[in-house]
Structure 1
Amino acid sequence: MEENRTNESRRAPRRRVPALAVGVTALALLVAGCGGGGNGGGGGGATPADTLVVAGQTGDYIRNFNPYSPTLIEGPGTIFESLFYFNVASGAEPVPVLGTEYAWNEDGTELSITLREGATWSDGEAFDAEDVKFTFDMIASDAVPNTVGFHGTTEVVDPTHVVVTFEGPSYMEGPQLLGKTWIVPEHIWSGIEDPNTDTIAEPVGTGPYTLGDFKGQAFTLDANPDYWGGEPELAHVQYRALAGNQATTDALAAGQIDVYSGPVPDIANVEQDYPGYSAITVPMNQMVLDTCANADLGCTGPQTDPAVRQALYYAMDRTQLNQLAFQNTASAMSPGFALPERDAAYVSDALENETVPMEPDLARVDEILTDAGYAREGDGVYARDGEPLALTVTVVTGWTDYITALETLREQLLPAGIELTVAQVSWNEMSDARSRGDFELVIDSLYPGPAPDPFYIYSYFFGTENTAEVGERADTNYSRYSNAEVDAAVAALTQLNPEDTAARMPHYDAIQQRIEQDMPYIPILTGGTTTEFHAAKFDGWPSQEDLYAFPAVWSRPDQSQMYMNLTPTGE
């Protein structure tokens, strides 16, 4: 399912998620799939008209709402808020949240922020600038994952104004601080021993929702009657845990859930197959094979050889993968990891392939492996120094689209002379192994960051400062990739005004050419994230004409923007 694949993961568990890098880090849970009572669309017990039932993660919930923990289950956007909301899908102007205005000085070394008056924490305490300073200082001290390397100094001017000072120009840290930093209450969090790992069972936030009933199979968020923006019309959001994509599809067909971000059979005909429901597909998260690539940091296995990674890249039949696994909802991605449409201005002309090859090139595979010292054995499998080219790829149990993709890829690799074994594990097992570097290959997606700019992909997933030796936990750079040229280009981009495309482009060229050659994450396709939603029960869903948020329930804080925009129809 789409469960945290995205690592918003800290990336929320499915694909994806989050967390900011800070959130990124905390993204660890993108979603998995839920089930439960629903209202309409088929049989099953009806849920109240004011309750949105969300397909949540695979497996029972562990009660943790710490927005900076790698095992959080929910909270960023709904319970804990950022200062602004940056829409990565549309690139619209940032929306004020706990902040109302911000401005850089002329050289990008000072960020002045005006804060909202009248906001309160859900325990009744007033929100003010001291909470913002406390949160920023917590990140700067590396007490929680600091994936953009923020070490600025925050000064409180008065209760509604703070100024953040940096040692040098730091434009690219702005969206992360402003849009993916979850502000926490100083009066509570100052007493937390380890804000990175301690669980938060009773979260206190400023957001539109507060925690209601909690059970291992489901929990509910209730509208905050004292929310500074007014009590949401959507009174309750219930997350339900299911056992994978199939269980979620069954619950959707039975009308037991109202929204699900993930694949269903016959995805092009949701309105016909699920009466009362509709769907929207948005390309965003780039599907990859994570590789533990860096032998110098302790990675072992054939995938530590760049030639093997390149061979896998050219052996894929992506047209077939898209058809069989993703129902043609995916699209070509760039091996330089800039989104071909959204980031068109930044796709490097110097790339060998502007977008990934859709058809396999077995002659190229043979050339690459032969040049690297491999030779086919009698069984047709390449080997070097007596070791066959055999790899294990890990996938989360229940992620049926990814499982189908890997079984298809396994068959595709046989004529290419590469053996692939598919290992299904729980989300927790996969997340833990990937973080510690205990894997050869993992299928997942890279999430895009706090603003519509490829810089964040490079900083999170390719930056040396976000990785660690095998056995230690990497924040977001799971491949253990480390390249001085890439690090220097990322550092240079941090200091450039994002509006100066001409000055930035040489650094994007350098990054993209290098990672296309090294390929620590093997590109598959850009995932088309499809969200199925109960259109008859709620009005206000995002549409292609009004993409006010990236419509994925596991993407934070986008999910909160959706919830606050929904109005129950009473049906």
Structure 2
Amino acid sequence: MSALSFSSPARSPRKPGTLLMSLLALCVLLLAACGGGSSTSSKKADTLWVAQLGDQYTDNFNPYAGGSGGPPHELIYESLLYTNYATGKMLPWLATSYKFSNDNKTLTFTIRDKVSWNDGQPFSANDVAFTLNLMHKYPAIDVSTIWSYLSSVTAPDAHTVVINFKTVFTPMIWYLGRLEMLPEHIWSSVGDPSKYIDSKAIGTGPFMVESFDPQVVTLNQNPHYWQAKPKFARVKYPVYKSNDTYLLNLINDKVDWGNIFAPNLDKNFVQRDPEHHRYWFAPNDTVMFYVNNLKSPFNQLAVRQAISDALDRAKMSTVAENGYEQVASPTALLLPNAKDYLLPEYANLTFKQDPQKAIQTLESAGYKKGKDGIFADAQGNRLAFKIDVPTNYSDRILLSQIASENLKAVGIDASINTLSPTDWYNNKQLGKYDMTIDSDQGGITPFYYFNRVLNSHRSAAIGQQSQSNFGRWQDPTTDRLLNQYATTSDPEVQKQAIQGLEKIFVEQLPTIPLLDAPTWFEYNTQHFTGWPDKSNPYATTYPPLLVILALEPR
């Protein structure tokens, strides 16, 4: 059995050459299942069905056992703060408040009163301190490397947690706030928590395990939940082995909630029941070309600008991504999510394909076209390079092919270099590429994206592993702005730093933003109301808890 991870709605890898076969198979299935939607009368409105894609589940809800193949656990285990990516806010959850000291080296959480674990035992600050200190004792579960920054965690009383820092790094609030809390009375005796098989799943969330089956997991309401309980009794997570089976069940009203990429959703899903079948794809991460800034010619601003100006991003969106992915902002902000950080001068700034401008930029930088129509520098080096793309993302191969055509039209020879996912990732991490395609989300504010992509401390020399700055951007001004944000808890000072980083993206193109990839979300309003959508984007569907608590059965 292959390892599964159901912690977030993931992209479905689509291999070249399989998409047509998949669609043909789906058509056959649809013809065989005409009228299948009528069977939904047997489904009770007190049960929400949420589809998952994979082989089968293992009976392990451990939130810190990466790749365990366990079922979703986000409705069982909760965090101190709740991240709402739609609003860019961290909401009080198991903690009612937090405060940094004047020197930003101490962080104090106030823990919510009258919260219980789903076995009836009280939740307290001791559980929080236990969870965080467990990550110190067992680094394998320190998924956010918090102990690179922390020096101690204590619980002076049942409602207070005090965290001391080795060095100031205020963005740690998001990393700490989203960690799922563990019950000390259970986990203190399990040994290595990364290896613990958690079939009991004792959490503080609104649901708890009712039954387990490798093909469907059922959760029922936690009778001890600390706030208003969900308005329905159960959540069922069926798992489907193929996209076709998944889509068939979605189309024929067997599930209420889906989270995969599927082509032609308007025709294959919405038009089969326009009253109830909906989808909403909220921007979630930025797809970009990483240029290798430590290599020529990508260390030249003129070349990066020419590449960007040559690209037809609108065609990439409509042809490669079915129109589901909006063209990215030149600021690299995810909009409209991060609109509060947008510099007013960039309010109407968009990418526009301009081949003539690309040619003029290269000519002004001293490049001249050869007889083959390809630009070369003064030393005769042709402007030719490869675009690395993983073989399991057919949409990104198509997107890169469009880019290759755009670049050829202005005198740049960019060929497609398809690689296995492993080779593609290794080349990206080691800097052994010319230009590569990837995406990155970041976190609750734009800082987390900028820090991952631009921080020189997260870069490395070619041949050495980069943490996340795969473009190997190294710039003192960028680092100063990132440090400005990280060493203050003043929101206005942090906003100024982010806006300075926007300028760097617009003016210097450390990477080349292309499209904003969404969180895939299909839903059926036949049995439940209260779903988020473009007109009411109160939350994104990952994490799912706010949506779960807002849904009402019809």
Correspondence 1:341-420 to 2 at 5 A: 341-348=336-343, 355-364=349-358, 367-368=361-362, 371=365, 376=370, 378=372, 380=374, 389-395=384-390, 397=392, 401-416=395-410, 417-420=412-415
CA spacing shift, 1:163–1:440, aligned 2, 3 Å: same
User: 2:18 corresponds to which residue?
Assistant: none
Pairwise CA distance, 1:182: 1.9
CA distance in 2, matches of 1:138, 1:543: 39
User: 2:328 corresponds to which residue?
Assistant: 333
114-123 or 536-545, larger mean C-alpha shift: 114-123
Pairwise CA distance, 1:535: 0.5
Correspondence 1:527-566 to 2 at 5 A: 527=517, 529=519, 531-544=521-534, 546-550=536-540, 552=541, 555=542, 557=543, 559-566=544-551
How many residues are treated as equivalent by the alignment?
522
- Contact 1:263–1:326, Cα closer than 8 Å, also in 2: no
User: 1:113 corresponds to which residue?
Assistant: 109
Segments of 5+ residues of structure 1 without an aligned counterpart are 17-34
Pairwise CA distance, 1:55: 4.0
Q: Give, as a single letter, the amino acid of the residue that structure 2 aligns with 1:496.
A: T
- Contact 2:386–2:414, Cα closer than 8 Å, also in 1: yes
User: 1:487 corresponds to which residue?
Assistant: 479
CA distance in 1, matches of 2:476, 2:236: 46
CA distance in 2, matches of 1:79, 1:260: 20
User: 1:457 corresponds to which residue?
Assistant: 449
- Contact 1:172–1:498, Cα closer than 8 Å, also in 2: no
CA distance in 1, matches of 2:479, 2:160: 33
Pairwise CA distance, 1:130: 2.3
User: 2:160 corresponds to which residue?
Assistant: 161
Which of 223, 228, 250 pairs up with 2:225? Answer: 228
Q: Give, as a single letter, the amino acid of the residue that structure 2 aligns with 1:98.
A: L
CA distance in 2, matches of 1:529, 1:395: 20
CA distance in 2, matches of 1:513, 1:151: 32
269-278 or 539-548, larger mean C-alpha shift: 269-278
- Contact 1:460–1:466, Cα closer than 8 Å, also in 2: yes
CA spacing shift, 1:294–1:124, aligned 2, 3 Å: farther
Q: Give, as a single letter, the amino acid of the residue that structure 2 aligns with 1:521.
A: T
Pairwise CA distance, 1:292: 6.8
Correspondence 1:107-506 to 2 at 5 A: 108-122=104-118, 126-137=122-133, 144-146=142-144, 150-151=149-150, 153-166=152-165, 171-178=170-177, 180-186=178-184, 198=195, 202=199, 203-210=201-208, 212-215=211-214, 218-229=215-226, 232=230, 233-244=232-243, 248-267=246-265, 271-275=270-274, 277-281=276-280, 283-291=282-290, 293=292, 295=294, 309-348=304-343, 355-364=349-358, 367-368=361-362, 371=365, 376=370, 378=372, 380=374, 389-395=384-390, 397=392, 401-416=395-410, 417-421=412-416, 423=418, 443-450=437-444, 453-466=445-458, 476-500=468-492, 503-506=493-496
CA spacing shift, 1:67–1:521, aligned 2, 3 Å: farther
1:397-428 deviations in Å (ceiling 9; x for gaps): 3x5654543443343333243333263756x8
Pairwise CA distance, 1:317: 0.6
Q: Give, as a single letter, the amino acid of the residue that structure 1 aligns with 2:330.
A: P
Task: Verify: 1:84 aligned to 2:81, yes or no.
Answer: yes
CA distance in 2, matches of 1:499, 1:420: 44
Q: Give, as a single letter, the amino acid of the residue that structure 1 aligns with 2:205.
A: G
Pairwise CA distance, 1:82: 0.8
Scaled by the length of structure 2, what TM-score is found? 0.75
CA distance in 2, matches of 1:135, 1:413: 51
CA distance in 2, matches of 1:526, 1:433: 23
1:541-571 deviations in Å (ceiling 9; x for gaps): 1244543321x3xx2x2x12222333444xx
Pairwise CA distance, 1:470: 7.0
Scaled by the length of structure 1, what TM-score is found? 0.73
Structure 1 or 2: more helix by fraction = 2
Find the structure with the greater CA-based Rg. Answer: 2
Pairwise CA distance, 1:89: 0.8
Pairwise CA distance, 1:85: 1.4
CA spacing shift, 1:238–1:349, aligned 2, 3 Å: same
Q: Give, as a single letter, the amino acid of the residue that structure 2 aligns with 1:228.
A: Y
CA distance in 1, matches of 2:7, 2:457: 17
CA distance in 1, matches of 2:365, 2:531: 53
Identity %: 22
CA distance in 1, matches of 2:196, 2:289: 28
Pairwise CA distance, 1:277: 3.1
Segments of 5+ residues of structure 2 without an aligned counterpart are 14-25
CA spacing shift, 1:415–1:339, aligned 2, 3 Å: same
Q: Give, as a single letter, the amino acid of the residue that structure 1 aligns with 2:525.
A: A
- Contact 2:313–2:515, Cα closer than 8 Å, also in 1: yes
User: 2:21 corresponds to which residue?
Assistant: none
Pairwise CA distance, 1:493: 0.9
CA distance in 1, matches of 2:474, 2:395: 31
- Contact 1:209–1:221, Cα closer than 8 Å, also in 2: no
